[in-house]
Amino acid sequence: MSSRQEAERLDRDDPLASFRAEFVIPDNDLVYLDGNSLGRTPKATVARLKQVVENEWAGNLISSWDHWLDMPRVVGNRMGSIIGSLSGEVAVHDSTTLNLYQGVHIALALRPDRKVLAVAADEFPTDRYVVEGIAHDLGLTVRPLEPDIDLHDVAVVVRSVIDYRTAEICDVKAFTSLATEAGALVLWDLSHTAGAIEFDVHALGVELAVGCTYKFLNGGPGAPAWTYVSENLHSQIQQPIKGWFAQKDQFDMEMPFAPHDDIRRVLLGTPHILSLIAAEEGIALSERVGMKQIAAKGQALTAFAMQVVDHFGLTTSTPRDPQRRGCHIAISHPRAKELVADLATHHKVLADVRPPDIVRLGLSPLTTRFTDVWDGLQRLSHLISG
């Protein structure tokens, strides 16, 4: 039987409970269940930003570019530890949208004879827009990703590992293997995955992936995204936006374009250092705790949430099997939008709505308490039962 007492006991026994103290939390009574849209603020980020602004920018000025220049790769290596990639396989840069655009083009250059892109009709909007936009401009076909899809003529499938509504985890290994057998590439979107569950690109056969850092990785609002390209493909990275941060001898200004032979081929313009610093601190915290521990906490949070959902008789589309769900849960209700607004305005619960009928609750392993889960769902159920 679920109860607030049980939630309190789970909080007391939580081996990661102490990490909440590493975040800036001005209002400890606020029930924040939207860490999957915007993670909280690590205290280390506040300190580091101050140091970077006052010492590196104001103090050392242009000299700081000596070490800022390589930050997309340095932070990329930290990011790699979250998704199981090797050193040099990830760059942290730009936005998920831009990185998807590049990723699709990288895949197309690797499969020049194929004229079909695949994406699910209910995939996250920006992923669909990118795919459809490229298909439109290049005269390619978009095939809806459905269970029995024929991949034999598909260049690349763009697919989220975790569904942004239900949190369902797809079978990455099986699907990658299926695609590989058909000669298709898969560009995986790990936006709701990285920092939420354990993931190992190499064990799963993943060659291309992108994702954001501002959700479970607590990288800050609009923190730069990342691109992973398996090392075996680095020399073949071709993407359409040629910029000076991909250039091998960047400051020999007179040269023709001759990019690096590594992940820096995806870089374009000057990295957004302040946002990148915040991304680094967020990622570094998850790196320090370790994804095994974080994933275990995430599973415990969602397992408890599913119990509470049943306790209050709520309806969820999130999988029952803990191996098949990420770190958010979806409550279905026709008045989802009003409920979320009411929770925020009157009940100190910040949740998220995903049209048409989903109340989405993000359970962020490093900051969400079991009591937050109880309180949030209890208040939601009171609103529903009116």
Main-chain phi, psi angles of 34, to 5 degrees: -135, 30
Determine if 76 is a binding residue for a second copy (CB under 8 A).
no
312 noted as active-site residue: no
216 noted as active-site residue: no
Q: Which of 78, 215, 264, 297 is catalytic?
A: 215
Main-chain phi, psi angles of 314, to 5 degrees: -85, 165
Q: Which of 23, 32, 124, 199 is catalytic?
A: 124
Dmax of the chain from CA atoms? Answer: 71
Query: Please, what is the Cα angle at 276 between 253 and 41, to 5 degrees?
Result: 170
Determine if 62 is a binding residue for a second copy (CB under 8 A).
yes
Binding mask 346-365 for a second copy (x = CB under 8 A): ----x-x-xxx---------
Residue 350's SS3 state is strand
- Using CB under 8 A, which of the segments 56-64, 154-162, 298-306, 316-324 binds a second copy? 56-64
Binding mask 245-284 for a second copy (x = CB under 8 A): xxx--xxxxxxxx----------xxxxxxxxx-x------
Select from 9, 141, 171, 240 the one that contacts a second copy (CB under 8 A): 240
Closest CB 170 distance from a second copy, rounded Å: 18
164 noted as active-site residue: no
Closest CB 27 distance from a second copy, rounded Å: 7
Q: Does residue 335 contact residue 367 with C-beta atoms inside 8 Å?
A: no
Closest CA to 354 of 318, 325, 310, 379: 318
Cis bond upstream, residue 356 (ω within 30): yes
Return the CA Rg of the chain: 21
Q: Does residue 268 contact residue 39 with C-beta atoms inside 8 Å?
A: no
Tokens read off for 217: 């990785």
Neighbours of 283 (CB within 10 A): 27
Residue located via tokens 């599913």: 306
Determine if 129 is a binding residue for a second copy (CB under 8 A).
yes
Q: Which is nearer to a second copy, 109 or 182 (CB)?
A: 109
- Which residues, numbered 165-224, are part of the site for a second copy (CB under 8 A)? 212, 214, 220-224
Determine if 38 is a binding residue for a second copy (CB under 8 A).
yes
Closest CB 348 distance from a second copy, rounded Å: 12
Q: Which is nearer to a second copy, 313 or 355 (CB)?
A: 355
Determine if 70 is a binding residue for a second copy (CB under 8 A).
no
Query: Please, what is the Cα angle at 41 between 32 and 27, to 5 degrees?
Result: 45
Determine if 234 is a binding residue for a second copy (CB under 8 A).
no
9 noted as active-site residue: no
Closest CB 37 distance from a second copy, rounded Å: 5
Q: Which of 189, 262, 352, 375 is catalytic?
A: 189
Q: Does residue 248 contact residue 258 with C-beta atoms inside 8 Å?
A: yes
Which residues are part of the catalytic machinery? Answer: 124, 189, 214-215, 360
